[in-house]
Chains A and B, each alone.
Chain A
């Protein structure tokens, strides 16, 4: 099948997959920020 003939289901699937990937990226950034803030504000025991 030539690349020009992209089935509609693939087009829709890629849009949804991209949305999921962006969600995953944002979640990762939030997770990293949360971990950094948790590390920065950890109680220090002398």
Chain B
């Protein structure tokens, strides 16, 4: 190159270089910035594609085990979201670096599929062999490279700032979810405590403090179905079914098991306070028939008044339906006899769903033989939870009634041979071992004394129906005090030893008396007395249970 030309070129460059190189640096930076932004957005949409790959998230549920973690997927926000974002960042940095600095190569062949911007800038310097071109092109390529590198650094800085903001938003969201779940859980515990809601196993009679919940789809056992790493408000079971972690959002509707004996707990447990009521009587006193008719009446009343009734236990429902199928409402002798084994609770809900008056009733129907045996009563753990007692008396087990009845009638009503007083004494002994007493040494429990087979008394003028000759109270079931006093007097007069009523008064703080019949299972109607005398109406078979549930009646 001629020295004069070189000097002229350099002088010219000095005049325009400031603008030329500035333009190249700014342009390079802008191009790299745009490339970085495009690659980041592309990688973000690819990385957070809803149904995208999940193999890298390591969220697979652990295998089901007796004491290990529950078979649930890890929550997306308990780590996997960061793994997805790490993939987004790795892809962004890799592709921006490849687009700006190094060439993009095919992963299999290693051949260059796209040349980088820096290489393209330097390639311009090789387009001509002229020394004049070199003098202009090399500084320009250098300036463009500086601009590209600065733009790439700027793009990375923007990605870094975005990542910090994204991280903060994630933290705020997870914290909000945790606070919500924590508050809801505390509120749930508080509500359960204030309303006295618990759940007990109807089979092993242990309070279930931590029930095992079963997935309704795959039956997997979830021992700790609470907000946690598997999910705050919901968790995903191994079968991909979403399970709620709080009672208020549906956990109560899941099938639950007792952690001790694995027996099924009542459906929708922990939604209403429980009331445990054993129905006590000797063999063939009419206990099972009373339970069937009282539950029928609860159901009918629930339908009529909208008060609400629901079976909380499939076994109770199938037992009830089987007895209905056998025609127990027309012929009580067809009822299935209670099996002599550890009593299992018969669970029903009484009261409208969602109302504060709703109660989960545990009706225990221990076989008459159980109550006759001190050893078997000693195993009746459910007595510890007892909130009231139904004491069933077969009037045909009383000597005066037996004397007035012929053999046909006694056989017809399946008269019990066991003395009610003896059954009461053994039962009271077991209760005193488990429950505290008042200052007067009485058990602070309400007892509903139920005289069954009242229909059989209608045809016995010698002893008479307890509610006969009561005037308006013979028919009007609302006149509870008169009917209660009449039945109490009838029992005292009819019993050969008057100490049954005294024993009830001495042992229990509250006692009420009811006369019921299987004939009133569907509708409670007056029964004509023989000889054209006035009619009597028995008590509603559900009345003893409802009286125990509200415990408003007092003697």
Taking each of B77, B173, B235, B240, which has the highest tally of chain A beta carbons within 10 Å of its own beta carbon? B240
- B45 contacts A32, CB within 8 Å? no
Q: How far is the CA of A11 from the CA of B51 in the complex (A)?
A: 6
When distances are taken between beta carbons in the complex, the residues of chain B under 8 Å from A3 are 52-55
With a cutoff of 8 Å between Cβ atoms, the chain A residues found around residue B321 in the complex are none
Give chain A nearest CB distance to B226 CB in angstroms: 16
Residues of B within 8 A of A (CB-CB), count: 38
Knowing A5-B240, A20-B169, A24-B166, the reply to whether A11 touches B44 (Cβ < 8 A) is no
Q: Which of B52, B162, B231, B235 has the most CB of A within 10 A?
A: B162
Q: In whole Å, how far is A17's beta carbon from the nearest beta carbon of chain B?
A: 5
Given contacts A1-B60, A20-B173, A24-B162, is CB(A9)–CB(B234) below 8 Å?
yes
Instruction: Choose one: B50, B77, B166; the contact of A21 (CB below 8 Å).
Output: B166
Cβ B81 vs Cβ A17 within 8 A:
yes
Q: Are B48 and A17 in contact (CB under 8 A)?
A: yes
Task: From A7, A8, A24, A28, name the one whose CB has the most chain B CB atoms within 10 angstroms.
Answer: A7
Is B80's CB within 8 Å of the partner chain A? yes
Residue B165 lies at the interface, judged by CB distance under 8 Å to chain A: yes
Given contacts A25-B41, A27-B165, contact A8 B51 (CB under 8 A): no
Find out whether the CB atom of B75 lies under 8 angstroms from the CB atom of A9: yes
CB nearest neighbor in A for B166:
A24
> Is the C-beta of B93 less than 8 angstroms from some C-beta in chain A?
no
CB atoms of B158 and A28 under 8 A apart: yes
- Is A14 touching B76 in the complex (CB atoms < 8 A)? yes
Hey, what's the 0/1 contact readout for B84-97 against A, CB within 8 Å counting as 1?
11000000000000
Check: B73 CB closer than 8 A to any chain A CB: yes
A7 x B169 contact (CB < 8 A): no
Q: Report the minimum CB–CB distance from A40 to chain B (whole Å).
A: 15
Within A4-23, which residues are at the interface with B (CB < 8 Å)? 5-18, 20-21, 23
Complex: A16 Cα to B163 Cα, angstroms: 15
Per the bound structure, the CA–CA distance linking A11 and B162 in Å amounts to 22
Q: Indicate which residue in A1, A25, A27 contacts B54 across the interface (CB closer than 8 Å).
A: A1
CB distance A28 to B161 under 8 Å? Answer: yes
Within B234-251, which residues are at the interface with A (CB < 8 Å)? 234-236, 240, 242
Give every chain B residue within 8 A of A5 (Cβ-Cβ).
240
Of A10, A14, A23, most buried by chain B (CB within 10 Å of CB) is A10
Contact between chains at A9 and B231 (CB < 8 Å): yes
Which positions 39-73 of chain B face chain A at CB distance < 8 Å? Answer: 40-41, 44-45, 48-55, 57, 59-60, 73
> A31 to chain B: which residues have CB within 8 Å?
161
Given contact pairs A3-B53, A10-B59, A17-B170, enumerate 10 new A-B contacts (beta carbons under 8 Å).
A3-B52, A7-B236, A9-B76, A9-B234, A9-B235, A9-B236, A17-B48, A24-B165, A25-B162, A28-B165
* Interchain Cβ contacts under 8 Å between A and B, 21 examples: A1-B60, A3-B54, A6-B52, A6-B54, A7-B73, A7-B236, A8-B242, A9-B76, A9-B234, A9-B236, A10-B54, A13-B76, A13-B77, A20-B166, A21-B162, A24-B162, A24-B163, A24-B166, A25-B162, A27-B165, A32-B158
Q: Which residues of B contact A (CB under 8 A)?
A: 40-41, 44-45, 48-55, 57, 59-60, 73, 75-77, 80-81, 84-85, 158, 161-163, 165-166, 169-170, 173, 231, 234-236, 240, 242
Give the B-binding residues of A (Cβ under 8 A): 1, 3, 5-18, 20-21, 23-25, 27-28, 31-32
Closest 7 CB pairs of A and B: A13-B76, A24-B166, A24-B165, A18-B48, A11-B50, A3-B53, A28-B162
